[in-house]
A and B are shown apart, each in its own frame.
Chain A
Amino acid sequence: MTPLSFEWQWSIDYFVFMGLLYIALGIVGCGLAYVIIKTGLQVFGFLRERHFDEH
Protein backbone atom coordinates (compact mmCIF):
# COMPACT_ATOMS: atom_id res chain seq x y z
CA MET A 1 0.00 0.00 0.00
CA THR A 2 1.28 3.45 -0.87
CA PRO A 3 -0.18 6.94 -0.44
CA LEU A 4 -1.43 6.54 -4.02
CA SER A 5 -3.61 3.52 -3.12
CA PHE A 6 -7.34 4.18 -2.75
CA GLU A 7 -7.43 2.70 0.79
CA TRP A 8 -4.75 5.10 2.03
CA GLN A 9 -5.81 7.53 4.75
CA TRP A 10 -3.76 10.57 5.69
CA SER A 11 -3.59 9.68 9.38
CA ILE A 12 -0.79 9.01 11.87
CA ASP A 13 -1.66 5.28 12.02
CA TYR A 14 -0.90 4.86 8.33
CA PHE A 15 2.29 6.89 8.52
CA VAL A 16 3.65 4.87 11.44
CA PHE A 17 2.62 1.42 10.20
CA MET A 18 3.53 1.74 6.54
CA GLY A 19 6.41 4.11 7.32
CA LEU A 20 8.17 1.52 9.49
CA LEU A 21 7.72 -1.10 6.78
CA TYR A 22 9.22 1.13 4.12
CA ILE A 23 12.07 2.17 6.42
CA ALA A 24 12.93 -1.50 7.03
CA LEU A 25 12.70 -2.29 3.30
CA GLY A 26 14.71 0.86 2.53
CA ILE A 27 17.52 -0.13 4.92
CA VAL A 28 17.70 -3.64 3.43
CA GLY A 29 17.58 -2.22 -0.12
CA CYS A 30 20.28 0.39 0.59
CA GLY A 31 22.49 -2.26 2.21
CA LEU A 32 22.16 -4.52 -0.82
CA ALA A 33 22.75 -1.64 -3.24
CA TYR A 34 25.91 -0.66 -1.31
CA VAL A 35 27.22 -4.24 -1.51
CA ILE A 36 26.42 -4.57 -5.22
CA ILE A 37 28.07 -1.24 -6.09
CA LYS A 38 31.14 -1.97 -3.96
CA THR A 39 31.46 -5.44 -5.52
CA GLY A 40 31.19 -3.93 -8.99
CA LEU A 41 33.94 -1.41 -8.19
CA GLN A 42 36.17 -4.20 -6.84
CA VAL A 43 35.55 -6.46 -9.83
CA PHE A 44 36.45 -3.69 -12.27
CA GLY A 45 39.52 -2.74 -10.22
CA PHE A 46 38.41 0.66 -8.93
CA LEU A 47 38.53 -0.45 -5.29
CA ARG A 48 40.83 -2.81 -3.41
CA GLU A 49 39.37 -5.88 -1.72
CA ARG A 50 39.12 -5.63 2.02
CA HIS A 51 40.10 -8.73 3.95
CA PHE A 52 37.83 -9.73 6.76
CA ASP A 53 38.70 -11.95 9.68
CA GLU A 54 37.81 -15.58 9.34
CA HIS A 55 34.29 -16.09 10.66
Chain B
Amino acid sequence: MNSAVDSALFPEGTRRCSAKLFFLWTLPWLALLAWGGLSAALCLWKGLNQTNMSNIFAFALWIVFDLAVIALGAGAFFTGFLTYIVGKKELKNVINAAVIIGFICYSGAIAMLGIDIGQPIRGWFIFWHANIHSMLVEVSFCITCYLMVLGIEFIPIILENRQAKKVNELRFFGHNLHGIMPLFAATGTFLSFFHQGSLGGMFGVMYARPFAARDGFYVWPWTFFLFVFSAIAVGPLFTILCTKLAELITRKKLVPDNVVQLLAKISGWLLSIYLVLKIFDTLGWMYGIVPKAGLTFMDFYKQGPYGVWMVVVEILICGVIPAIILMAPKAREQQGWLIFAGLLACAGIVINRFVFIIVTLAIPVMPFDRFWSYLPTWQEWGIALAIVGYGFLLFSAAYRYLPVFPKEKELNPIGEQGE
Protein backbone atom coordinates (compact mmCIF):
# COMPACT_ATOMS: atom_id res chain seq x y z
CA MET B 1 0.00 0.00 0.00
CA ASN B 2 1.18 3.49 -0.78
CA SER B 3 1.19 5.99 2.01
CA ALA B 4 -1.47 8.65 1.58
CA VAL B 5 1.11 11.42 1.23
CA ASP B 6 3.02 9.54 -1.45
CA SER B 7 -0.01 8.55 -3.52
CA ALA B 8 -1.47 12.05 -3.29
CA LEU B 9 1.44 13.19 -5.44
CA PHE B 10 0.85 10.69 -8.26
CA PRO B 11 -0.50 12.02 -11.56
CA GLU B 12 -4.29 11.79 -11.75
CA GLY B 13 -5.76 8.56 -13.09
CA THR B 14 -2.51 6.62 -12.96
CA ARG B 15 -1.19 3.80 -10.79
CA ARG B 16 2.29 3.53 -9.36
CA CYS B 17 4.16 0.82 -7.47
CA SER B 18 4.27 0.81 -3.66
CA ALA B 19 6.61 3.14 -1.81
CA LYS B 20 8.57 0.13 -0.54
CA LEU B 21 9.11 -1.29 -4.03
CA PHE B 22 10.08 2.15 -5.30
CA PHE B 23 12.61 2.47 -2.48
CA LEU B 24 14.12 -0.93 -3.36
CA TRP B 25 14.30 0.14 -7.04
CA THR B 26 16.29 3.24 -6.08
CA LEU B 27 18.90 1.32 -4.03
CA PRO B 28 21.29 0.36 -6.89
CA TRP B 29 21.17 3.89 -8.25
CA LEU B 30 21.79 5.34 -4.79
CA ALA B 31 24.77 2.97 -4.51
CA LEU B 32 26.17 4.31 -7.80
CA LEU B 33 25.69 7.86 -6.52
CA ALA B 34 27.47 6.99 -3.27
CA TRP B 35 30.40 5.54 -5.25
CA GLY B 36 30.50 8.72 -7.34
CA GLY B 37 30.28 10.90 -4.22
CA LEU B 38 33.22 9.11 -2.61
CA SER B 39 35.25 9.40 -5.83
CA ALA B 40 34.41 13.09 -6.19
CA ALA B 41 35.35 13.77 -2.57
CA LEU B 42 38.71 12.05 -3.10
CA CYS B 43 39.38 14.02 -6.30
CA LEU B 44 38.48 17.32 -4.66
CA TRP B 45 40.42 16.55 -1.48
CA LYS B 46 43.55 14.87 -2.88
CA GLY B 47 43.50 16.22 -6.44
CA LEU B 48 43.46 14.73 -9.92
CA ASN B 49 46.25 12.30 -8.97
CA GLN B 50 43.30 10.03 -8.11
CA THR B 51 42.84 9.57 -11.85
CA ASN B 52 45.01 8.11 -14.60
CA MET B 53 44.82 11.36 -16.54
CA SER B 54 48.17 12.83 -17.50
CA ASN B 55 49.74 15.45 -19.73
CA ILE B 56 49.07 13.01 -22.60
CA PHE B 57 45.51 12.18 -21.57
CA ALA B 58 44.23 15.55 -20.41
CA PHE B 59 40.92 14.42 -21.90
CA ALA B 60 39.94 10.99 -20.66
CA LEU B 61 36.96 8.90 -19.52
CA TRP B 62 35.01 11.86 -18.14
CA ILE B 63 35.20 13.75 -21.43
CA VAL B 64 34.16 10.62 -23.34
CA PHE B 65 31.12 10.37 -21.04
CA ASP B 66 30.52 14.11 -21.34
CA LEU B 67 30.51 14.14 -25.12
CA ALA B 68 28.50 10.94 -25.29
CA VAL B 69 25.74 12.11 -22.94
CA ILE B 70 25.64 15.54 -24.58
CA ALA B 71 25.12 13.89 -27.98
CA LEU B 72 22.53 11.46 -26.59
CA GLY B 73 20.78 14.28 -24.72
CA ALA B 74 20.34 16.21 -27.97
CA GLY B 75 16.87 14.67 -28.21
CA ALA B 76 15.69 17.47 -25.91
CA PHE B 77 16.60 20.37 -28.16
CA PHE B 78 15.80 18.63 -31.41
CA THR B 79 12.42 17.31 -30.25
CA GLY B 80 11.71 20.81 -28.87
CA PHE B 81 12.65 22.28 -32.25
CA LEU B 82 10.39 19.84 -34.10
CA THR B 83 7.51 20.39 -31.66
CA TYR B 84 7.52 24.15 -31.16
CA ILE B 85 9.28 25.54 -34.24
CA VAL B 86 8.46 23.05 -37.01
CA GLY B 87 5.00 22.40 -35.54
CA LYS B 88 4.95 18.61 -35.15
CA LYS B 89 2.27 18.77 -32.46
CA GLU B 90 2.09 15.00 -31.95
CA LEU B 91 5.57 15.13 -30.43
CA LYS B 92 4.05 16.87 -27.39
CA ASN B 93 3.43 13.32 -26.21
CA VAL B 94 7.15 12.73 -25.80
CA ILE B 95 8.59 16.22 -25.28
CA ASN B 96 8.41 16.03 -21.46
CA ALA B 97 10.46 12.84 -21.43
CA ALA B 98 12.93 14.36 -23.91
CA VAL B 99 13.37 17.46 -21.74
CA ILE B 100 13.95 15.41 -18.58
CA ILE B 101 16.47 13.16 -20.35
CA GLY B 102 18.24 16.24 -21.75
CA PHE B 103 18.29 17.85 -18.31
CA ILE B 104 19.80 14.69 -16.79
CA CYS B 105 22.45 14.46 -19.52
CA TYR B 106 23.50 18.12 -19.39
CA SER B 107 23.40 18.57 -15.61
CA GLY B 108 25.33 15.30 -15.21
CA ALA B 109 27.92 16.39 -17.77
CA ILE B 110 28.42 19.76 -16.08
CA ALA B 111 28.69 18.17 -12.62
CA MET B 112 31.36 15.84 -13.99
CA LEU B 113 33.21 18.76 -15.61
CA GLY B 114 33.19 20.43 -12.19
CA ILE B 115 35.42 17.60 -10.93
CA ASP B 116 37.38 17.36 -14.19
CA ILE B 117 38.64 20.94 -14.05
CA GLY B 118 40.39 20.12 -10.77
CA GLN B 119 39.59 23.39 -9.03
CA PRO B 120 35.84 23.97 -9.37
CA ILE B 121 36.07 27.19 -7.36
CA ARG B 122 37.82 28.66 -10.42
CA GLY B 123 35.17 27.38 -12.82
CA TRP B 124 33.83 30.90 -13.38
CA PHE B 125 37.18 31.96 -14.89
CA ILE B 126 36.09 30.49 -18.24
CA PHE B 127 33.20 33.00 -18.34
CA TRP B 128 34.87 36.07 -16.95
CA HIS B 129 38.36 35.64 -18.43
CA ALA B 130 37.08 34.11 -21.66
CA ASN B 131 39.51 33.21 -24.43
CA ILE B 132 37.15 34.08 -27.24
CA HIS B 133 39.21 32.19 -29.83
CA SER B 134 38.75 28.88 -28.03
CA MET B 135 36.05 26.47 -29.14
CA LEU B 136 36.00 25.08 -25.60
CA VAL B 137 34.93 28.48 -24.28
CA GLU B 138 32.07 28.55 -26.76
CA VAL B 139 31.13 25.04 -25.65
CA SER B 140 31.22 26.07 -21.98
CA PHE B 141 29.05 29.13 -22.60
CA CYS B 142 26.49 27.25 -24.66
CA ILE B 143 26.30 24.19 -22.39
CA THR B 144 25.74 26.22 -19.24
CA CYS B 145 23.22 28.53 -20.94
CA TYR B 146 21.43 25.55 -22.44
CA LEU B 147 21.27 23.81 -19.06
CA MET B 148 19.58 26.98 -17.80
CA VAL B 149 17.08 26.74 -20.69
CA LEU B 150 16.48 23.05 -19.94
CA GLY B 151 15.88 23.95 -16.29
CA ILE B 152 13.28 26.50 -17.42
CA GLU B 153 11.69 23.88 -19.69
CA PHE B 154 11.60 21.42 -16.77
CA ILE B 155 9.77 23.84 -14.41
CA PRO B 156 6.32 23.61 -16.10
CA ILE B 157 6.56 19.81 -15.96
CA ILE B 158 7.25 19.97 -12.20
CA LEU B 159 4.43 22.45 -11.70
CA GLU B 160 2.05 20.02 -13.44
CA ASN B 161 2.26 17.86 -10.31
CA ARG B 162 -1.18 17.17 -8.88
CA GLN B 163 -0.53 19.02 -5.62
CA ALA B 164 1.51 21.88 -7.13
CA LYS B 165 -1.35 22.60 -9.56
CA LYS B 166 -3.61 23.38 -6.61
CA VAL B 167 -1.50 26.44 -5.78
CA ASN B 168 -2.78 29.22 -8.03
CA GLU B 169 0.52 31.11 -8.23
CA LEU B 170 2.41 28.00 -9.32
CA ARG B 171 -0.29 27.02 -11.81
CA PHE B 172 -0.25 30.48 -13.41
CA PHE B 173 3.54 30.49 -13.52
CA GLY B 174 3.68 27.01 -15.08
CA HIS B 175 1.02 27.84 -17.69
CA ASN B 176 2.68 31.13 -18.62
CA LEU B 177 6.07 29.44 -18.98
CA HIS B 178 4.47 26.79 -21.14
CA GLY B 179 2.88 29.53 -23.25
CA ILE B 180 6.22 31.00 -24.29
CA MET B 181 8.00 27.66 -24.64
CA PRO B 182 8.68 28.23 -28.38
CA LEU B 183 10.96 31.12 -27.36
CA PHE B 184 12.98 28.88 -25.06
CA ALA B 185 12.93 26.06 -27.62
CA ALA B 186 14.38 28.42 -30.25
CA THR B 187 17.06 29.69 -27.86
CA GLY B 188 17.89 26.10 -26.91
CA THR B 189 18.20 25.15 -30.57
CA PHE B 190 20.62 28.03 -31.22
CA LEU B 191 22.75 27.19 -28.17
CA SER B 192 22.73 23.46 -28.87
CA PHE B 193 23.65 23.86 -32.52
CA PHE B 194 26.75 25.80 -31.57
CA HIS B 195 27.96 23.68 -28.67
CA GLN B 196 27.37 20.37 -30.45
CA GLY B 197 29.23 21.79 -33.42
CA SER B 198 32.07 23.31 -31.43
CA LEU B 199 32.64 20.05 -29.59
CA GLY B 200 33.37 18.53 -32.99
CA GLY B 201 35.19 21.59 -34.29
CA MET B 202 37.54 21.41 -31.34
CA PHE B 203 39.00 18.14 -32.72
CA GLY B 204 38.96 19.24 -36.34
CA VAL B 205 41.24 22.19 -35.63
CA MET B 206 43.94 20.02 -34.04
CA TYR B 207 46.23 20.56 -37.02
CA ALA B 208 49.21 19.02 -35.19
CA ARG B 209 47.28 15.74 -34.84
CA PRO B 210 46.51 14.48 -38.36
CA PHE B 211 44.30 11.72 -36.96
CA ALA B 212 41.70 14.29 -35.85
CA ALA B 213 42.39 17.31 -38.09
CA ARG B 214 39.97 18.10 -40.92
CA ASP B 215 39.50 20.66 -43.64
CA GLY B 216 36.31 22.64 -43.52
CA PHE B 217 34.24 25.67 -44.37
CA TYR B 218 35.42 29.12 -43.21
CA VAL B 219 36.40 28.73 -39.52
CA TRP B 220 34.46 25.49 -39.06
CA PRO B 221 36.11 22.12 -39.81
CA TRP B 222 33.83 19.39 -41.19
CA THR B 223 33.74 17.76 -37.75
CA PHE B 224 31.69 20.78 -36.58
CA PHE B 225 28.83 19.81 -38.89
CA LEU B 226 29.28 16.06 -38.40
CA PHE B 227 28.90 16.38 -34.62
CA VAL B 228 25.71 18.42 -35.04
CA PHE B 229 24.24 15.89 -37.50
CA SER B 230 25.20 12.87 -35.41
CA ALA B 231 23.70 14.41 -32.27
CA ILE B 232 20.36 15.32 -33.86
CA ALA B 233 20.18 11.89 -35.51
CA VAL B 234 20.87 9.91 -32.36
CA GLY B 235 19.36 12.17 -29.64
CA PRO B 236 15.73 11.30 -30.56
CA LEU B 237 16.69 7.61 -30.77
CA PHE B 238 18.03 7.77 -27.22
CA THR B 239 14.74 9.33 -26.13
CA ILE B 240 12.90 6.44 -27.80
CA LEU B 241 15.15 3.92 -26.05
CA CYS B 242 14.53 5.54 -22.65
CA THR B 243 10.76 5.53 -23.15
CA LYS B 244 10.87 1.90 -24.30
CA LEU B 245 12.87 1.01 -21.17
CA ALA B 246 10.31 2.86 -19.04
CA GLU B 247 7.53 0.93 -20.80
CA LEU B 248 9.32 -2.37 -20.18
CA ILE B 249 9.87 -1.65 -16.48
CA THR B 250 6.39 -0.25 -15.81
CA ARG B 251 4.67 -2.79 -18.09
CA LYS B 252 2.60 0.03 -19.61
CA LYS B 253 2.30 1.75 -22.96
CA LEU B 254 3.46 5.32 -22.41
CA VAL B 255 3.91 6.87 -25.85
CA PRO B 256 1.63 6.32 -28.88
CA ASP B 257 3.19 4.34 -31.71
CA ASN B 258 2.73 7.11 -34.29
CA VAL B 259 4.93 9.43 -32.18
CA VAL B 260 7.69 6.85 -31.85
CA GLN B 261 7.49 6.08 -35.57
CA LEU B 262 7.71 9.76 -36.51
CA LEU B 263 10.80 10.28 -34.35
CA ALA B 264 12.37 7.06 -35.65
CA LYS B 265 11.71 8.06 -39.26
CA ILE B 266 13.27 11.50 -38.78
CA SER B 267 16.25 9.91 -37.03
CA GLY B 268 16.64 7.42 -39.85
CA TRP B 269 16.81 10.17 -42.47
CA LEU B 270 19.23 12.25 -40.40
CA LEU B 271 21.40 9.23 -39.65
CA SER B 272 21.56 8.42 -43.36
CA ILE B 273 22.55 11.99 -44.29
CA TYR B 274 25.12 11.96 -41.49
CA LEU B 275 26.61 8.69 -42.73
CA VAL B 276 26.95 9.92 -46.30
CA LEU B 277 28.75 13.02 -45.01
CA LYS B 278 30.85 10.93 -42.59
CA ILE B 279 31.94 8.55 -45.35
CA PHE B 280 32.88 11.48 -47.63
CA ASP B 281 34.70 13.10 -44.71
CA THR B 282 36.63 9.91 -43.97
CA LEU B 283 37.60 9.51 -47.65
CA GLY B 284 38.61 13.18 -47.87
CA TRP B 285 40.72 12.77 -44.75
CA MET B 286 42.32 9.52 -46.05
CA TYR B 287 43.28 11.05 -49.39
CA GLY B 288 43.83 14.65 -48.28
CA ILE B 289 44.97 15.36 -44.72
CA VAL B 290 46.76 12.04 -44.13
CA PRO B 291 49.08 12.06 -47.21
CA LYS B 292 49.79 15.77 -46.66
CA ALA B 293 51.07 14.84 -43.19
CA GLY B 294 53.41 12.28 -44.77
CA LEU B 295 51.42 9.35 -43.43
CA THR B 296 49.18 6.58 -44.71
CA PHE B 297 45.78 5.50 -43.42
CA MET B 298 47.19 2.32 -41.87
CA ASP B 299 49.87 4.22 -39.93
CA PHE B 300 47.17 5.16 -37.41
CA TYR B 301 46.12 1.59 -36.78
CA LYS B 302 49.45 -0.16 -36.36
CA GLN B 303 49.79 0.02 -32.60
CA GLY B 304 47.60 -0.69 -29.64
CA PRO B 305 44.15 -2.24 -29.64
CA TYR B 306 42.51 0.41 -31.84
CA GLY B 307 42.58 -1.15 -35.30
CA VAL B 308 40.66 -0.62 -38.53
CA TRP B 309 37.92 -2.68 -36.92
CA MET B 310 36.88 0.47 -35.04
CA VAL B 311 36.17 2.27 -38.33
CA VAL B 312 34.16 -0.74 -39.55
CA VAL B 313 32.19 -0.99 -36.29
CA GLU B 314 31.52 2.75 -36.09
CA ILE B 315 30.48 3.41 -39.68
CA LEU B 316 29.20 0.10 -40.99
CA ILE B 317 27.79 -1.90 -38.07
CA CYS B 318 26.66 0.99 -35.85
CA GLY B 319 25.87 3.37 -38.70
CA VAL B 320 24.77 1.85 -41.99
CA ILE B 321 22.83 -1.08 -40.46
CA PRO B 322 20.65 1.03 -38.08
CA ALA B 323 20.13 3.60 -40.86
CA ILE B 324 18.77 0.90 -43.17
CA ILE B 325 16.49 -0.47 -40.42
CA LEU B 326 15.17 3.00 -39.56
CA MET B 327 14.63 3.95 -43.20
CA ALA B 328 12.55 0.82 -43.89
CA PRO B 329 9.00 1.36 -42.51
CA LYS B 330 8.33 -2.39 -42.23
CA ALA B 331 11.47 -2.90 -40.13
CA ARG B 332 11.16 0.10 -37.80
CA GLU B 333 7.50 -0.71 -37.08
CA GLN B 334 8.66 -3.88 -35.34
CA GLN B 335 9.64 -3.00 -31.80
CA GLY B 336 12.56 -5.44 -31.65
CA TRP B 337 14.21 -4.05 -34.78
CA LEU B 338 13.56 -0.46 -33.68
CA ILE B 339 15.27 -1.03 -30.31
CA PHE B 340 18.12 -2.92 -31.99
CA ALA B 341 18.67 -0.06 -34.43
CA GLY B 342 18.50 2.51 -31.62
CA LEU B 343 21.04 0.63 -29.53
CA LEU B 344 23.42 0.27 -32.49
CA ALA B 345 23.15 3.94 -33.47
CA CYS B 346 23.70 5.16 -29.90
CA ALA B 347 26.69 2.80 -29.53
CA GLY B 348 28.08 4.15 -32.81
CA ILE B 349 28.00 7.73 -31.58
CA VAL B 350 29.66 6.76 -28.28
CA ILE B 351 32.40 5.00 -30.30
CA ASN B 352 32.75 8.10 -32.50
CA ARG B 353 33.31 10.32 -29.44
CA PHE B 354 35.70 7.75 -27.94
CA VAL B 355 37.75 7.65 -31.14
CA PHE B 356 38.02 11.44 -31.34
CA ILE B 357 39.02 11.75 -27.68
CA ILE B 358 41.02 8.72 -26.59
CA VAL B 359 42.38 7.31 -29.86
CA THR B 360 43.42 10.80 -31.02
CA LEU B 361 45.51 11.23 -27.89
CA ALA B 362 46.86 7.66 -27.84
CA ILE B 363 48.30 7.72 -31.37
CA PRO B 364 51.88 9.01 -31.58
CA VAL B 365 52.39 12.35 -33.33
CA MET B 366 56.19 12.53 -33.70
CA PRO B 367 58.35 9.74 -35.21
CA PHE B 368 60.04 9.26 -31.83
CA ASP B 369 56.73 9.13 -29.92
CA ARG B 370 55.20 5.88 -28.77
CA PHE B 371 51.62 4.68 -28.47
CA TRP B 372 50.12 5.69 -25.13
CA SER B 373 47.64 3.53 -23.29
CA TYR B 374 45.15 4.67 -20.72
CA LEU B 375 42.90 2.83 -18.29
CA PRO B 376 40.60 4.75 -15.95
CA THR B 377 40.89 4.35 -12.17
CA TRP B 378 37.93 3.27 -10.00
CA GLN B 379 37.49 6.91 -9.02
CA GLU B 380 37.05 7.90 -12.67
CA TRP B 381 34.55 5.09 -13.22
CA GLY B 382 32.76 6.07 -10.01
CA ILE B 383 32.17 9.65 -11.12
CA ALA B 384 31.21 8.63 -14.66
CA LEU B 385 28.75 5.95 -13.53
CA ALA B 386 27.24 8.30 -10.95
CA ILE B 387 25.58 10.04 -13.91
CA VAL B 388 23.82 6.76 -14.74
CA GLY B 389 22.59 6.46 -11.15
CA TYR B 390 21.52 10.09 -11.05
CA GLY B 391 19.71 9.69 -14.36
CA PHE B 392 17.75 6.62 -13.25
CA LEU B 393 16.84 8.29 -9.94
CA LEU B 394 15.66 11.56 -11.44
CA PHE B 395 13.74 9.94 -14.28
CA SER B 396 12.12 7.43 -11.91
CA ALA B 397 11.06 10.18 -9.48
CA ALA B 398 9.78 12.30 -12.38
CA TYR B 399 7.77 9.39 -13.77
CA ARG B 400 6.33 8.59 -10.31
CA TYR B 401 5.21 12.09 -9.39
CA LEU B 402 4.85 14.07 -12.63
CA PRO B 403 2.70 13.64 -15.73
CA VAL B 404 5.74 12.89 -17.92
CA PHE B 405 3.69 10.99 -20.49
CA PRO B 406 0.47 12.91 -21.25
CA LYS B 407 -1.18 9.91 -22.95
CA GLU B 408 -0.43 7.44 -20.16
CA LYS B 409 -3.94 7.63 -18.70
CA GLU B 410 -5.57 7.20 -22.09
CA LEU B 411 -3.31 4.35 -23.21
CA ASN B 412 -3.66 2.48 -19.89
CA PRO B 413 -7.23 2.71 -18.58
CA ILE B 414 -7.40 2.03 -14.83
CA GLY B 415 -7.77 -1.70 -14.22
CA GLU B 416 -5.47 -2.55 -17.14
CA GLN B 417 -2.43 -0.72 -15.78
CA GLY B 418 0.79 -2.37 -14.73
CA GLU B 419 2.91 -0.85 -12.02
Contacts and interface: CB of A to CB of B under 8 A. Distances in A.
Nearest to A31: B183
B7 interface: no
B286 interface: no
A42 B176 CA distance: 10
A9 B92 CA distance: 45
A27 B176 contact: no
Interface in A17-38: 17-18, 21, 24-25, 27-28, 31-32, 34-36, 38
B191 interface: yes
A18 B173 contact: no
Contacts of B191: 24
A38 B96 CA distance: 24
A14 B129 CA distance: 12
Contacts of A5: 128-129
A34 B180 contact: yes
B252 interface: no
B398 to A, nearest CB: 15
Contacts, number: 69
A13 B177 contact: no
B327 interface: no
A54 B406 contact: yes
A11 to B, nearest CB: 9
B152 interface: yes
A21 B143 CA distance: 11
B127 interface: yes
A25 B138 contact: no
A1 B130 contact: yes
B172 A42 contact: yes
A17 B133 CA distance: 9
A43 B172 CA distance: 8
A13 B172 CA distance: 42
- Interface residues of A, dominant DSSP: helix
B229 interface: no
Contacts of B305: none
Nearest to A16: B132
B128 A52 contact: no
A1 B127 contact: yes
Interface in B88-103: 92, 95-96
B178 A28 contact: no
B334 interface: no
Contact of A35 (B128, B132, B138, B177): B177
B294 interface: no
B168 interface: yes
B130 A31 contact: no
Contact of B145 (A21, A36, A39): A21
Contacts of A51: 175
A27 B190 CA distance: 12
B179 interface: yes
Nearest to A26: B187
Contacts of B177: 35
Interface-centre pick from A31, A34, A49 (highest chain B CB count, 10 A): A31
A7 B127 CA distance: 12
A28 B149 contact: yes
Contacts of A43: 168-169, 172
A39 B172 contact: yes
B136 to A, nearest CB: 13
9 contacts: A13-B132, A17-B138, A25-B145, A32-B152, A35-B180, A49-B172, A50-B179, A55-B96, A55-B178
Ranked nearest first, the 5 interchain pairs of A and B with the lowest CB-CB distance are A17-B132, A35-B176, A39-B173, A42-B172, A39-B172
